[in-house]
Amino acid sequence: MPQQAGRLEGKVAVLTGAASGIGEGTARRFVAEGARVVVADIQEEKGLRVAKSLGDAARFVRTDVTQESDIAGAVDTAVAEFGQLDVMVNNAGIVGAVGSIVETSAEAFDATMAVLARAVFLGIKHAGRVMLPRRSGSIVSIASTAGVQGGLGPHVYTMAKHGVVGLTKSAASEFARRGIRVNAVAPGNTVTAMTADVVAGDPDDRDAVTETITTMSPLRIPGLPEDIAAAILYLASDEARYVTGQTLVVDAGQTSGSGGPVPFHRQGAEVIREAGRRGIDD
């Protein structure tokens, strides 16, 4: 029986923040599905290790996403090394400024937005630069449940992630007629080093953060980088050829209100009317 081709067979991708967490999981899944990837990350040692483990299908480029020249360089590396760019994943992220809005400095605000919002804008810009002449490509940016609902993240993080959702729609509206799709994925709580640092105060304490996320999950299972990678893979692949301008939420139902029983979902059914009246008939 002939071996089935991977879902990204022959495609080339750039992934920012691919040295760890969701980015690393996505890079590994992409290569397993037939893609060649550029691992673009500021973490040089980890990034080199990931790229090396992926063999000839990967290249590492040290990338500080707050620098436009670095993002442009990662895109140019894909074209120089692999001949094209089919997929751009804007994944690099930080928690950024935390604390009360009245105590947050403008400098902390700017530093956070540079990574979480400005870098996504620049990633879309430079991916578009090389995709537009070919009239083909898929751009996927990482938003967050904090980008679709308030109260799930720090203030600046929440603002930036809402911006990613909005920019996704805006860029999709420009690029659609030129053959390029632009989408986003909004992960919920996911087991990563960054989450472990926030939850347990130790980026290496995977067990603690897994237990915490499992307890918080409406499905009672932890969100793993592989779960988010699967969503990114779908949007990157030709299976999503009719999907653009969308944000796919992957959160075990957290933002849908699946976290617990709702009074209106109790057993039995009725019609509740004005002034305490019940039923349909007068």
pLDDT band at 201; cut points 50, 70, 90: confident
Tell me the pLDDT tens digit for each residue of 145-181: 999 999 999 999 999 999 999 999 999 999 999 999 9
Average pLDDT over residues 91-110: 95
In terms of pLDDT, which residue wins out, 207 or 51? 51
Helix (H) or strand (E) holding 249: strand 247-250
pLDDT band at 278; cut points 50, 70, 90: low
- The residue behind tokens 């307890």 is 215
**Per-chain mean pLDDT for the chain:** 92
* pLDDT in the model for residue 2: 47
Note if 157 is an active site residue.
yes
- Domains along the chain with CATH numbers: 12-188+223-252 (3.40.50.720)
**Amino acid identity for residue 213 in this structure:** I
Q: Retrieve residue 158's tokens.
A: 């929440």
pLDDT band at 1; cut points 50, 70, 90: very low
Q: What percent of the chain has pLDDT over 70?
A: 90
- Alpha-carbon gap, residue 183 to 232, rounded angstroms: 9
- Alpha-carbon gap, residue 64 to 176, rounded angstroms: 29
Tally of helices (H runs) and strands (E runs) in the chain: 9, 7
**Sequence-distant (≥ 6) Cβ neighbours of residue 33 within 8 angstroms:** 6, 7, 8, 9, 233, 237
Q: Retrieve residue 226's tokens.
A: 């592989």
DSSP string, 61-120: EE--TTSHHHHHHHHHHHHHHHS---EEEE--------S-GGG--HHHHHHHHIIIIIHH
Question: Does 257 have pLDDT greater than 60?
Answer: yes
Buried b / exposed e across 42-78, counting CB within 10 Å, b at 16+?
bbeebbebbbeebeebbbbbbbbbbebebbbbbbbbb
Name the catalytic one among 16, 157, 232, 244: 157
pTM comes to: 0.91
Question: Does 258 have pLDDT greater than 80?
Answer: no
* pLDDT in the model for residue 191: 86
**Amino acid identity for residue 71 in this structure:** I
How many CB atoms lie under 10 A from the CB of residue 191? 23
pLDDT band at 268; cut points 50, 70, 90: low
